[in-house]
Amino acid sequence: MSQALTQLTAKDFASDQETRWCPGCGDYSILAQVKKVLPTLDTPREKFVFVSGIGCSSRFPYYVNTYGIHSIHGRAPAVATGVKMVRPDLSVWVITGDGDALSIGGNHLLHAIRRNIDLKIVLFNNRIYGLTKGQYSPTSEMGKKTKSTPMGSVDFPLHPISVAIGAEATFVARSVDVHVKHLEDVLVRAARHKGTAFVEVYQNCNIFNDLAFEYAAGKDTRDDHTVILEHGKPLIFGKNRDKGIRLNGTAPEIVQLGGDIKEDDLLFHDERAPEPTLAYLLSRMHHPEFPEPLGVFRAVQRPTYEALANQQIATARAQHGEGTLEALFDDGETWVVN
């Protein structure tokens, strides 16, 4: 029997498996927020499917008591695509990491996003390979010294939000593992979006890349180094909310509010802009030069892949009638031998 939705709580989504992330890992917080969000989505527990690839984050499905597939490295978006196409009624989530999604699985991520298939993709970005014990990842900063790069890495990093926007994402957002309330809100928005929802979560790996996002996570630093995006509102940040982002030509700049500069002079966020130009510009604001935007960068509507694919089946049935074996066999030229 399906449990009455109103009765479900985070506890109902806890599996009987012992969680095996390192103590202090940012993954715990993300798991807790997801378990808090799921009961609020008016979806029965049996209709959730969590699909992951390989990496620390990808152990996630074992820790939620829903249907789940812990698949292979980088392929979760493709596995999830198969599930969602066959069963559009299911709520399908992809849990992935920076290596899983952007290195070995980069191709699948791009194509899932461009198809706008209704998957909730949550990318835990810790800018390091954790499960293989500390090699640099495609989001590691240039010059990163790790076990595999003792003299520093020599490749330029990818920025997940920019990648997603470049792949024509209809929903793109960012949050931080320890910003409990913000993360919860972003996950709810993602869950309610119809189409691919891409969420980057800054996640601390306290073993191999501790404090990588401390500027965005730390209570003392985060107000000055992040800016919360709100649709229709100006970009204001700082402990005293006295700084803002203004456009200078096509480039953002930090300005001090007060004096000549008013709120109306600032850049106003528009997550629904049909063109992704603004969202992309925001995705290029990096620490330490800029406060890094958190929240929903882009949220637009476009038909979903699974809906269009299944609509073609409905159309074909309406045009030609439900296929029968007789019609299948007798199609084309046939002849009778007596």
Partner 1 sequence: MSATTAASAAANKTVKTLELDEIVVRFVGDSGDGMQLAGTQMTNTSAVFGNDVATLPDFPAEIRAPAGSLAGVSGFQINFSSHDIRTPGDQVNCLVAMNPAGLKSNIADLEPGGILLVNEDAFNKVNLQKAGYAANPLDDGSLKGFRLFRVPLDKLTTEANKGSSLTSRALGRCRNFTALGLVYWMFNRPLDETLRWIDAKFGKKPEVAEANRNALKTGYYFGETCETFIENYKVPKARITPGRYRKLTGNEALAIGLVTAARLAGKDVFYGTYPITPASDILHQLSTYKNFGVLTFQAEDEIAAMTSVIGAAFAGAIAVTGTSGPGIALKAEGIGLAVCTELPVIIINVQRGGPSTGLPTKTEQADLLQAVCGRNGECPVAVLAPNTPADCFNMAIEACRIAIEYMTPVMLLSDGYLANGAEPWRIPDEKSLPHLKVTHPAQKNGESEFLPYKRDAKLARPWALPGTPGLEHRIGGLEKEDVTGHVSYDPENHEHMVKTRAAKIAGIAKSLPKLEVLGSPQGGDLLVIGWGSTYGAITTAVERCRAQGMDVSSVHLRYLNPFQQDLGDVLKRFKRVLCPEMNLGQLSKLLRAEFLVDVKSLSKVQGKPFMVRDIVTAIESMMKGNNGR
Q: Which residues of this chain interact with partner 1, rule CB under 8 A?
A: 1-3, 15-17, 44-47, 49-51, 54, 61-62, 65-72, 75, 77-87, 89-90, 107-108, 110-111, 309-310, 312-313, 315-317, 319-323, 325-326, 328-338
CB of 153 to partner 1, least distance (A): 26
Burial class (CB in 10 A: 0-12, 13-18, 19+), 238: middle
Q: Are 219 and 34 in contact (CB under 8 A)?
A: no
Closest CB to partner 1 among residues 121, 173: 121
Beta carbon nearer to partner 1, 71 or 226: 71
Q: Which residue lies nearer to partner 1 by CB, 4 or 251? A: 4
| H helix intervals, 53-167 | 76-86, 98-99, 106-115, 160-166
Instruction: Considering the complex, state which of residue 61 and residue 195 has its C-beta at the smaller distance from partner 1.
Output: 61
- Distance in Å, CB of 25 to partner 1, minimum: 18
Comparing CA positions, the residue from 266, 241, 239, 232 lying closest to residue 252 is 266
In the complex with partner 1, the residue whose CB is nearer, 251 or 336, is 336
What is the phi/psi pair of residue 160, to 5°?
-50, -45
Four-CA torsion 46, 48, 50, 51, nearest 10 degrees: 100
Q: How far is the CB of 41 from partner 1 (least distance, A)?
A: 15
CB 132, min distance to partner 1, A:
15
Closest distance between partner 1 and the C-beta of residue 70, in Å?
A: 3
Q: Is 254 helix (H, G, I), strand (E, B) or coil?
A: strand
